[in-house]
Amino acid sequence: MTDLHAAAKRCLDAVDPAEKVRLSFETWQRLLDGELRPDVDAPGPEPVGPPGRPPLPRLISPRDLAQRGLGTAEGRAALVHAIAHIEFNAINLAWDAVYRYRGKPEGFYRDWASCANDEARHYTMLASRLAELGHAYGDFDAHNGLWDMAEKTAHSDTARMALVPRVLEARGLDVTPGMIERLKRQGDDPTVAILDVILREEVAHVAAGTRWFHWCCERDGVESRATFVALLDEYMHGSLRGPFNRPARREAGFSELELEWLETLG
């Protein structure tokens, strides 16, 4: 197999998390080695559907998820599980971008394949931490919010770049520092070390979303800030709320005008 789109689909379809991680690492390395490239004659992408994932965790509404404090080992395991679930979904989101959106510059595919490789590494670290806490991925319920947005934006690369990395994944930039401080107070240094890595590397992922969102806007001859505002209104219906990590978002390519506007959302 030399078609990058087909290789991305293989990663996306893998059901077992360990296999998805293995294929993600392998596919990224093959891309670096020049063994994979987009095949312009490859069949177009299939309609979006559920990605490969194991039977567990059970996916439920976010409002039905149990709330657990970090003062107990079970509560800390539940938090690690929730973040592992986000990273597992992020692997799928990155490979879906490589698979679904055709005719892009080489840098687009390299950015999202690199992102998938990072997310697979993040998932691996969190799965190992879960094992240390006496649990495994699938032991707690989870929600499907990230993939729901992937399905809603499958028809539009502009909407996908705006809303997945620059909204949903950017929330990690906002909330992770607070989680780190809470875990420090509980003395959970191993989890803190993992979240420090994830926070640092997620800035680059959100920056990739910014970069390719601007590219899409330039291609279509539309103004990026107005388009971002319109897409947020259309898909999020004003549900985005702060606080926002302005330094991290600034590093990830958000303009001062965008940051000021975000602050008006409440």
Contact 177/202 with Cβ under 8 angstroms?
A: no
Rounded to whole angstroms, how far apart are CA atoms 266 and 240?
8
Rounded to whole angstroms, how far apart are CA atoms 198 and 87?
9
- Considering the entire predicted model, what is its pTM? 0.96
Q: What's the pLDDT tens digit per position in 120-129?
A: 999 999 999 9
Main-chain phi, psi angles of 71, to 5 degrees:
-75, -5
> For residue 266, what pLDDT is reported?
64
> For residue 237, what pLDDT is reported?
84
* Residue spans of the chain under pLDDT 70: 238, 266
